[in-house]
Structure 1
Amino acid sequence: MNRKHVIEVAAILFLEKGFAYTSMDELVRVSKVSKSNVYYHFSNKEELLEAVVDYWIAKYHFAIEEVINQQQLSVEQRVTMFLMQLAQGVQVREFKGSCPFITLAIQSPAQATQLKERIGLFFAELQSKVSLLIAQGVERGEFRKAIQPEEIASLFITNLEGALFIAETQKDATIITKTAQQFMKLLH
């Protein structure tokens, strides 16, 4: 219970203040978990950062799987549902760390190569799942037949990451869904 709570608090603090600017003492204060208990679970801040990245990966995987399994909805409806969840998360975080993975990758220590590889693997898996959704849209006749799902998935993720960044800088979460809706129109 304490481990999970510490990770959740760190996940927010790292996005709000930055990994380098969040001390373990501040984490203890905000989480209200004793310092000895925090260090029982995490020997250092870098180990905690890895747990935070795993936390975000699990959170996104759950949301993506939930969307993929909504077979009764169109692909566009499922993608919009996922993006609305992302937009809500961005708003709840008050537009800090709109894409937790990019934010944490940029803030992580230079020697955190395994962490960056894990984030890269997450994006590869995300692209694979988006490609699957796009292929379903083509099969169902929702999108043009000439579409190459893998290429479109890559463009979609790049588009999404740009939209997340712009939404953060302009403090407007609707940019996330509007941009994706415009992108989807190009596929019809």
Structure 2
Amino acid sequence: MNQKRVIEVAATLFLEKGFAYTSMDELVRVSKVSKSNVYYHFSDKEELLEGVVDYWIETYQRAIDQILSQNQLSVEDRVQMFLKHLSQGVQSREYKGGCPFITLYIQSPTHASHIKEKIGLFFTGLQMKVSLLLKQGVEKGEFRNTIHIDEVAALFITNLEGALFISETLKDATVITKTASQFFNLLR
């Protein structure tokens, strides 16, 4: 329970203040978990960063798998449900760290290649899941059957990342869902 608490607090602080600007002492203070307990679970801040990346990956995977399973809804409705969930997260963080993965990737120490690889694998997996959704959309007649599914999935993710960044700079989470609507209109 303490380990989970420290990761959740770190997940918020790293996005709000930055990995480099968050001290272990501050984590102890905010999480109200003793210093010895924090160091029992994480030998250093980098190990904690890896735990935070895993936390975000699991959070996103859960949300994505939930929308993938709701076959009764259109692909666009399912994706928009997921994006509304993302938008709420962005708003609740007061527009800091629009995309946790890019924020943490950029903030990762240069030598932390295993953390960067983990984030890369997350995006590879995400693209496969978006391809799966697009395939379902084509099969259901939502999208035209001439689209190149994998290329469009890659474009969708690039588009989403841009929308997340712009929503952060404009402090407007509606950019995320509006951009996706415009994207889907191009696929009909």
- Work out whether the TM-score is over 0.5: yes
CA distance in 1, matches of 2:20, 2:174: 30
CA distance in 2, matches of 1:149, 1:63: 22
Amino acid at match of 1:38: V
SS of equivalent to 1:73: coil
- 2:51 maps to 51
CA distance in 1, matches of 2:67, 2:117: 25
Which aligned pairs between 1:87-126 and structure 2 lie closer than 5 A?
Answer: 87-126=87-126
Which aligned pairs between 1:1-188 and structure 2 lie closer than 5 A?
Answer: 1-188=1-188
Segments of 5+ residues of structure 2 without an aligned counterpart are none
Instruction: Tell me the alpha carbon deviations over residues 158-187 of structure 1, each in whole angstroms, 9 at most, x when there is no partner.
Output: 000000000000000000000000000000
Aligned-residue CA RMSD in angstroms? 0.3
The alpha-carbon deviation at position 48 of structure 1 amounts to 0.1
CA distance in 2, matches of 1:32, 1:145: 54
Instruction: Tell me the alpha carbon deviations over residues 81-123 of structure 1, each in whole angstroms, 9 at most, x when there is no partner.
Output: 0000000000000000010000000001000000000000000
The alpha-carbon deviation at position 8 of structure 1 amounts to 0.1
CA distance in 1, matches of 2:116, 2:144: 35
CA distance in 2, matches of 1:84, 1:185: 18
Amino acid at match of 1:104: L
Amino acid at match of 1:178: K
Instruction: Tell me the alpha carbon deviations over residues 101-148 of structure 1, each in whole angstroms, 9 at most, x when there is no partner.
Output: 000000010000000000000000000000000000001111001011
Query: TM-score by structure 1 length?
Result: 1.00
What is the count of residue pairs matched by the alignment? 188
CA distance in 2, matches of 1:91, 1:26: 23
Segments of 5+ residues of structure 1 without an aligned counterpart are none
Query: TM-score by structure 2 length?
Result: 1.00
CA distance in 2, matches of 1:150, 1:175: 24
Divergent runs of 4+, >2 A: none
